Amino acid sequence: MDILTLNCGSSSAKYQLYRWKEKRILAKGIVERVIVGGSFIVHEVMGKEKIKVERECPTHKEAIALIMEMLVHPEHGVIDNVSQIQAVGHRAVHGGEKFKKSVIVNDEAMNTFKELADLAPLHNPPNIMGIEAAQQLMPNIPHMAIMDTAWHQTMPNFSYIYALPYEWYEKNHVRRYGFHGTSLLYVAKRASVLLGKDPFKTNIVSAHIGNGVSFNAVKNGVSFDTSMGLTPLEGAVMGTRAGDHDAGIDLYMMEKLGLSPSEMNKILNKKSGVLGITGKYTDRRDIEIAAKKGDGRAKLAIEIEGYRGKKYIGAYMAALGHTDAIIFTAGVGEMSPIIRNKMVRGLEEFGVIIDPEKNELSHTRNAETDITGKGSKVKIFVIPTDEELVMTEDTVALLEGRYDVHTNFRYSFQDPHYINKLREESFKKSLEKNPELLKIKAKIPGID
């Protein structure tokens, strides 16, 4: 059984083909610069070098057609015919209150996504375009929607209701929804494995830090609170999004500069965050390099992001009452010792102690690492996320009629003996170059 997962962004289409029975990835990649011009695909077959092919993709339909072409390519392909794909799982960023779990795509689901498009303007429209394009190219197989917001449907009303006119919630569904659900679900389930605890007796604070950033308080194994809100704009400092700030600033500057709502929306979503602070960088690697060279605004961006993240971690620890672990994940969370350090140093009074040496060593996406310092009452883990695996498992379970909300459903990666074979092989190669990495590999109670 071969399952394709698609994650269509505003100008990209990320994909993975997974052979379910063998539990292995066949191929993965991304089409970039869709719509904007200069499009190309980076295609990777497991065990082979990545290849890059340039091809204009004026819409997502051409991008997905290019993906199909690469999957069946006589030299670079992994299947003989597209008909071998038995289902497609699509990332759907915003499901509102309608969806509490992943669903099979039908007309009703598509209409709901379209109604919700203005709540996630950077994501829902391309998600919809990707689903429609894939349905046209593969009309005879089921398509599933994997909802980012579903994980957060367990939040209590005092976590998600805003102090705004209540009828806005009743009539317009204005509330906190939260995002990055597939990633946060994965790391929460894996954290309980690393802790050797029942997932529904586990309390953690997760920090998904990439271009977009989510902090998540997980109480007794379910989402209790999260930093993103009605849209992905609220919360922590991000790559281009403003995150938390005084809404009066928006009104003041709209009046001062004569900005329209759409112009202000663009500024808040695409021209703020660390880009707004530095004036030129969104990639934290570039910011860290610039800071080392003395760029004052780059240094400031690191300090602001670290400080704001620390406040979220501290607030969520207070909300949980007891915290078993703090988890870092996603591109920056997995690869930036500087950001991790900034976010937990100063929390020693809360029982949080990081090991500086282990933190510096943890710069890998191929292993779960333990960077907890001596005497810490709270574990600190770096867990590489695997959104595609969650999407694949949801898709297969829907296809087989055994899927349910995560509180009634068990994923394969919850098994203490679960191994990501690809990551395990890559980590072994890393160990050959740096045996010190073995010091930080997280141990599974009763197994290691």
Indicate the burial class of 403 (C-beta count within 10 angstroms; 0-12, 13-18, 19 or more): buried
Report DSSP state, residue 184: H
For residue 146, give every residue at least 6 positions away whose Cβ sits within 8 Å of its Cβ, in sequence order, or none: 5, 89, 90, 91, 92, 102, 182, 390, 391, 394, 395
Please report the sign of the dihedral spanned by the C-alpha atoms of residue 69, residue 75, residue 80, residue 85.
negative
C-alpha distances out from residue 32 to 14, 38, 67, 138, Å = 8, 8, 11, 21
For residue 311, the surrounding DSSP H or E stretch is: helix 296-320
3-state secondary structure of 156: coil
Q: What residues act catalytically?
A: 148
3-state secondary structure of 222: strand
Q: Which two tokens stand for residue 438?
A: 């073995």
Q: Which two tokens stand for residue 157?
A: 């009303």
Whether 276 and 242 have beta carbons less than 8 Å apart is answered as yes
Whether 318 and 193 have beta carbons less than 8 Å apart is answered as no
For residue 72, give every residue at least 6 positions away whose Cβ sits within 8 Å of its Cβ, in sequence order, or none: 79, 80, 81, 82
Whether 296 and 277 have beta carbons less than 8 Å apart is answered as no
Whether 339 and 371 have beta carbons less than 8 Å apart is answered as no
